[in-house]
Amino acid sequence: MSHAAYVFDAYGTLFDVHAAVRKHAGAMGPDGQAFSDLWRAKQLEYSWIRTLMGTHTDFWTLTEQSLDYAFARFPSADRKLRAALLDAYWHLDCYPEVPAVLKNLKHRGARIAILSNGTPQMLQSAVKKAGLDLIIDDIFSVETVRAFKTSPAVYDMVTTTYRLYPNAVSFQSSNRWDVAGATKFGFRTVWINRGDMPDEYADFGPALILPSLESL
């Protein structure tokens, strides 16, 4: 089924959020993966709590704060790696199939966009590093509405800008909670279940579940 716009979450969907820690795996020690998992979990938790409280702090600041929490929880991790890990987050690897998939969709005449919690600067850096800057038409950052996903105001940026009904938008995310929010908004959703995780939010299910973007 063809759609007018294909919109992608960034972190975990296009870009590997664990690439920063993996880049320094040798120096991180045995707790590296658990450290990375906690860093990501707290980054998201902080975004949800901020939005629920009706306040806003940009995603880069939350990334720093969640990293500091991970260091506090894992004393085995060398705090001297803090600057290197943060720098690596600006240049995350994209998943291998991403460039070809996005080029194919663009070739069909669809608009290609990112809709992300990240700041414009974070997203532009990641897109440029991955060589996607000539493929992606638009980057929608939550900084415009100063609320994080799954606030309806975030998803509404796409339909308002493109003057489309929600069901004309195909939205892809690796985050099941993000898929639930986008489904509730009215997007046609695709869950990119990279980790083969069990389903949840059964009342807001995706139209399609894929193990990667390759079959999109």
Q: Looking at residue 193, what is its pLDDT? A: 98
- What is the per-residue pLDDT across 178-215, written as a single tens digit (0 to 9) for each? 999 999 999 999 999 999 999 999 999 999 999 999 98
Q: Looking at residue 216, what is its pLDDT? A: 87
Are 105 and 112 in contact by the 8 Å Cβ rule? The answer is: yes
Considering 9, 58, 93, 178, which one is annotated as catalytic? Answer: 9
Structure tokens at 207: 């139209």
Q: Give the number of other CB atoms < 10 A from CB of residue 5.
A: 21
Partner residues linked to 148 by β-bridges: none
The mean pLDDT values, 10 residues at a time, for the chain of 216 residues are 89 96 90 96 98 97 98 94 95 96 95 98 96 96 98 98 96 98 98 96 98 93
Q: Looking at residue 215, what is its pLDDT? A: 87
Q: How far apart are CA 178 and CA 56, in angstroms?
A: 18
Q: Looking at residue 92, what is its pLDDT? A: 93
Q: Decide if 9 is catalytic.
A: yes
Report the SS3 class of residue 215.
helix
